[in-house]
Amino acid sequence: MDRLAVSAPADPGTVRLLDGLLAVGTTAVVLAGTVRLGGRLDAAGALPLALWLGLLLLARRRWPLAVLLLGVLAAVVFRTSGLTDTGWVWPVSAAYATLAADDRPGRPGLPWAAGVGLAELAFAMNWEMTAGGATPREAVGSLSAEALWLAVLLAAATAYRNRLRWRAELDDRLERVVRERDLEAGRRIAEARLEIARELHDVVGHTLTVVGIQLRVAAEALDDSPQQARAALVTAQHIRTEALRDLRALVHVLRAPGAGPEDPVAGLPEVAALVDRMRSAELDIRLETAGDLAAVPAPVSLAVHRIVQEALTNTVRHAGASRADVILRCAHGRVEVCVTDDGRAPADTSGAAGHGVRGMGERVRALGGAFSAGPRGEGDGWLVRAVMPVPGFRP
């Protein structure tokens, strides 16, 4: 099964390289911006500030708030001490963007970045009016570009953070889709295995049981009644042919999933023939039907056939019964199947059910019905009962 691709975490070496390039780039931009804005470029002012702001960015992923605070403090100190004469906000742009884009749980980076930026601008305006002698209008005019730059920077960082959130949600959704697909595939495989196990158990078990009955009849009648022995052998051969047909149909479905079997599968019309094959001198089987059995859909019809088949097979194998009754009724939107015998019940009825009984119950419950198997109410005997709804039934 093809899997949906999800994004992988960044390589640590690549992360360190990008941080190093950003640090070098910030140092170069601060120096170039100072020259471009007509500021002083000397070894005691712009150069150490640029180097300090660049080095701080190497720790921006682990301590983004501390990096921003130390960067703003350096810019304020250098500016108020006269070591540099250009820039309040823009030299610390990378630190502002890093904190605003921080999306880790419990670390609200954007409010902190906006608060620090407003505090820095307020301090800069106050310093321009007091120490610089500027009027309020002049102070606003000199800081308006930096305030606009801060707003654009925070907006871009917010957009980037939202994109990261969207990518994370998308990756999580894709992972859930993959997990759900795997679970569904596992469920379908498990159901298919159960269905195959039921079919193999029912077909092979029933075939061996009936063939065994006919061979016993042939062996007993070989000397006294060759005709009866020959008829029993013909019946055994016929049963073998039907079993091969069922196995071929099952193999065909396995080789071509979704395709129907090449031969018609067992169903309600074959129940009478099934009862005739299972009937012997030691076991009298009587079949009683009621209602419109032609209205039963194929899945329910197959389930009815398999339940009767498995119940009678168990009767022949284990019960030592002399009589069995099979009752089929279709009425009031449901099919009822009852198979009873007068044989001995298992010595231990509290243990786990065998494969056959468990398979019958799984078939019935898969069709929305109810199943029970256990001793009859009085005396010896065993009862198998199943009730299944018939979709689209019209009385």
Weakest mean pLDDT among 13-22, 341-350, 355-364 = 341-350
pLDDT band at 350 (very low <50, low <70, confident <90, very high): very low
* pTM beyond cutoff 0.75: no
pLDDT band at 273 (very low <50, low <70, confident <90, very high): confident
Residue 263: pLDDT above 60? no
Residue 261: pLDDT above 50? no
Q: Over the stretch 130-145, which tens digit does the pLDDT of each residue have? A: 887 778 888 888 888 8
pLDDT at 7: 41
pLDDT at 6: 37
Of residues 248 and 226, more confidence is placed in 226
pLDDT at 387: 93
Residue 18: pLDDT above 50? yes
pLDDT at 286: 92
Domains of the chain: 12-133 (no CATH), 266-395 (3.30.565.10)
Average pLDDT of every residue of the chain: 79
249-275 mean pLDDT: 65
> Cα dihedral sign for 134, 137, 140, 145?
negative
Residue 359: pLDDT above 60? yes
305-329 mean pLDDT: 86
pLDDT band at 8 (very low <50, low <70, confident <90, very high): very low
Residue 352: pLDDT above 50? no
pLDDT at 152: 92
pLDDT at 287: 92
Weakest mean pLDDT among 89-103, 279-293, 342-356, 362-376 = 342-356
Weakest mean pLDDT among 171-175, 196-200, 334-338, 383-387 = 196-200
pLDDT at 339: 93
Residue 349: pLDDT above 50? no
- Name 177's Cβ contacts closer than 8 Å, sequence gap at least 6: 4
pLDDT band at 255 (very low <50, low <70, confident <90, very high): low
Residue 291: how many CA atoms within 13 Å on its side-chain side?
19
Residue 395: pLDDT above 80? no
